[in-house]
Homo-oligomer: A and B are copies of this chain.
Amino acid sequence: MYIHQVAAYLPDFVVTNEHFTRLNGLASEWIIERTGIRERRKAGPGENTNTMAIEATRRVLAQAPDFAAGIDLIVGATYTPHDTIYTLAHAVQRDLGINEIPVVSISSACSSLLNAIEIVEGYFALGKASRAVVVVSEHNTAYNNETDTMAGHLWGDGASALLISKERLAPTDLRVTEVVTGGAAVVGKADEAVTLKPVEKGIVMPHGRDVFTHACTYMARVTEQLLVRQGLNVEDVTFLIPHQANLRITKNVLKQLDMPIERAVSNIEQLGNTGCAGAAIGLGDTWNQLREGDRVIITVFGGGYSYGAMLLER
């Protein structure tokens, strides 16, 4: 299984830390020190989870026009639904005009990218598909309370789409060597630490410390497990792309793994926490720097709790 192309869509509108200084009295330096975040994007009027997913898919297909004709599976992922019936995967299907192929949208919170890819892996193994679009999209600002001084300044909007094929299509494709995912709903305050109750109150994160601790533990541990399973050392990994939740979490994970911080891919400074789209956007940012033989590990952690790791090789 190979990732053939990846592309992101980011809304134009930039929300700087000064917005939250005015709103909540939080100094920009205070936000940067605690999270790394300097600015984030906000979807414009008329934009939503589905429109961003469509736009990301159009962009990735513009990079690989030949792929479109063979698409036989669409997996969407989001925890910020615009519509839970006409889901982002369905919106992408309608835009592509490819009917009667398996189409489903999923959520395992900020970990959904890896669950989506693992689901694709399953369809490929069954022989039910061979060319998939995975599209991850989050419209956090639709569910975020900006006046929440705990977490209101963390979230940003964005989307990314990946083209995944069973066989290698180009020398620059990234081989998906292994995907591991897990739910960790049993530990800590997983049932209340990060929640998005659409009817009641949107996205909240009342137990940041519990999230922080488990995010650091799980991303480091599952990365180590993946390395052991693959007979690799941290030196064999060119880039680590952790879930883009907080720069302090990234630094903690890198330290645990004894990996130089330069090898971490980070977009949280400019984008904030873009949920399950963050790591995919990071992969897109890194794409052109990768050389033959390079290895990338994407590791994620999300509310629920959920976690995962994936090894990619060029």
Question: Residues on A close to B: CB < 8 A?
Answer: 74, 78-87, 89-91, 93-94, 97-109, 112, 115, 118-119, 121-123, 125-126, 128, 142-143, 181-187, 190-192, 194-199, 203, 302-306
CB distance from A306 to the nearest CB of B (A): 7
Report how many copies the assembly holds.
2
Contact of A103 among B86, B182, B192 (CB under 8 A): B182
Known interface pairs A86-B194, A87-B108, A102-B183; 4 further A-B residue pairs with C-beta atoms within 8 A, sorted by A's residue number: A79-B84, A81-B84, A86-B109, A103-B183
Contact between B104 and A108, CB atoms less than 8 A apart = yes
Contact of A107 among B87, B100, B190, B199 (CB under 8 A): B87
Q: List chain B residues, Cβ under 8 A from A91.
A: 185, 191
Chain B, Cβ-Cβ closest to A87: B107
Contact between B122 and A185, CB atoms less than 8 A apart = no
A107 CA / B195 CA spacing, docked (Å): 18
Contact between B99 and A184, CB atoms less than 8 A apart = yes
Contact of A195 among B86, B184, B185, B304 (CB under 8 A): B86
Chain B, Cβ-Cβ closest to A122: B122
A143 CA / B187 CA spacing, docked (Å): 30
Chain B, Cβ-Cβ closest to A106: B106
A107 CA / B121 CA spacing, docked (Å): 18
Contact of A122 among B78, B105, B121 (CB under 8 A): B121
- Of all A-B residue pairs in the complex, the 3 with the closest CB atoms, nearest first, are A122-B122, A103-B183, A198-B198
Contact between B196 and A199, CB atoms less than 8 A apart = no
Counting chain B CB atoms within 10 Å of each CB, the highest count among A84, A182, A198 belongs to A84
Contact between A186 and B122, CB atoms less than 8 A apart = no
CB distance from A83 to the nearest CB of B (A): 5
Chain B, Cβ-Cβ closest to A82: B197
A87 CA / B198 CA spacing, docked (Å): 12
Contact between A304 and B122, CB atoms less than 8 A apart = no
A304 touching B125 in the complex, CB below 8 Å, given contacts A74-B183, A84-B81, A197-B83: no
Contact between A198 and B195, CB atoms less than 8 A apart = no
A102 CA / B79 CA spacing, docked (Å): 17
CB distance from A203 to the nearest CB of B (A): 7
Contact of A94 among B89, B99, B190 (CB under 8 A): B190
Contact of A101 among B89, B97, B183 (CB under 8 A): B183
Chain B, Cβ-Cβ closest to A93: B185
Chain B, Cβ-Cβ closest to A94: B185
Chain B, Cβ-Cβ closest to A127: B125
Contact between B142 and A199, CB atoms less than 8 A apart = yes
A94 CA / B304 CA spacing, docked (Å): 9
19 residue pairs bridging A and B, Cβ less than 8 Å apart: A74-B183, A79-B85, A81-B84, A82-B197, A83-B197, A85-B107, A87-B109, A90-B183, A90-B185, A90-B304, A93-B186, A97-B186, A101-B182, A102-B115, A102-B182, A103-B185, A106-B107, A118-B126, A122-B128
